[in-house]
Structure formats: C-alpha cells, structure tokens
Amino acid sequence: MRIVSTDVLLVVDVQNDFCSGGALAVADGDAVVEPIHRVAPLFQHIILTQDWHPRHHTSFASEHPGKQAFDTVELSYGPQTLWPPHCIQGTQGAEFHAALQLPQAELILRKGCDAQIDSYSAFYENDHETPTGLAGYLRERGLTRVFLAGLAYDYCVGYSALDARRLGLPAAILRDACRAIDLNGSVARMEAEFARARVEVLESGNGLA
C-alpha cells in the first residue's frame, strides 16, 4: 500500500504508564516503538495522542468504593471499565516513552482530560458524541486516510479506528506496531467490530511504501 501526502500516522498513547513498569502496563508495550520508528519516515503527517487524566478521574477504580480495577460500572454515558489510576496530568507516567522519538509530529492531542468522562478514542469521548477536535483538524488539513499504531490495540487504538470509519475516513491499523490488553476477550470483540466497519489490519513491513 502506497503512503501518500494526505495520509496521517496516528500514534496512540505510547506513554510510560502503558509500558513496562507502568501503572497500567500493556504486555510487551515497549515493543511498539521500533516498528513505529520504522514506518514514521513514510508519512508526511504524524499525530500523537496522550492520555491526560485529572487525579480523580471517574474511570479510576479508586474513585468507586468497593470496586476493583477492571470491574465495570454504569456511568451517565454507559458502561465504563474501571482502571488503576494512570496517566495523571503532569506525572512521569503520563509522559511519552523515552525511546519514542518523533520530533516531526505536528500535533499532540491530549484526551481524557474531563474528570467525568473517559476517552478511549482519539476522535470522541466515551459518550460517542463529544468530539476531541481531531476530525476537524484532519478535515482542515486535508488529511483523508488514517494509519494507527500504539497502545492498546483493543481499546484506544481500536476505538480510534472505528471512529475514523464512522467519520468516513479509511482506517488501517499496523498490527505489529500495537499491543493489546485482551481483557475478557476484548481483542476478539474488537476484531469483529473491525470486520463490520471495514477497518484494515496490516503488518507494517508488508507492502507499505
């Protein structure tokens, strides 16, 4: 697949708390950095997302007495998985992984900033209605196809890809540049959604040019 000037590489949440030793570490999460670096030179446009939570975010299990991390609760916008406190604004855990070096990235989009609602997708908060502004940015810049990499495949990467399709944008996930949480079958559920939405799942070294 040939990369063109209207394509964008969306690098999702490659942050310390999602990598080895982090508060919500994704298994082998550090391994996404090398394939991301390998494909980055193919793209004229790169955007980074950064989970950026207030200290008392509603998605944290610590905010729900009697609940544990990975339980599910019903909030005003629907079901919400509870997570260990992670990517808290201004902390080391919220910083990008030190090995990730993409100084050419033209935008850092911070998400999950509202204490009352989580935001997996780079495009919408978890009510699926409140936009982050990314769609408008892509539209104004004339960027029309999204390639995705980062953490985690079955959550923030996956929901971002599905919302790109919902917005009418072709979306392709670079599978070897992602790692998954796979919480209670979340990978299988997400891949079924990919099939329905026509999200492509590719290997970064397989035909990108």
Q: What is the mean pLDDT of residues 189-198?
A: 98
Are 48 and 151 spatial neighbours (Cβ–Cβ below 8 Å)?
A: no
Is 176 tagged catalytic? no
| Tokens coding 120 | 């997996």
The stretches of the chain forming alpha helices (DSSP H) are 33-39, 134-141, 158-166, 186-197
**pLDDT tens digit string along 55-76?**
999 999 999 999 999 999 999 9
Q: Report the C-alpha gap between 135 and 149 in whole angstroms.
A: 18
Among residues 7, 17, 51, 111, which one is catalytic?
111
Are 177 and 32 spatial neighbours (Cβ–Cβ below 8 Å)?
A: yes
Q: How far is CA 125 from CA 3, 151, 159, in A?
A: 29, 17, 10
Among residues 7, 156, 163, 178, which one is catalytic?
156
Residue 204: pLDDT above 90? no
pLDDT for residue 179: 98
Q: What is the mean pLDDT of residues 20-43?
A: 97
- Residue at 47: amino acid letter: I
pLDDT for residue 191: 98
Is 67 tagged catalytic? no
Residues 6+ apart with CB under 8 A from 116: 58, 76
Among residues 13, 17, 154, 163, which one is catalytic?
13
Is 114 tagged catalytic? no
Residue 32: pLDDT above 80? yes
* pTM as predicted: 0.96
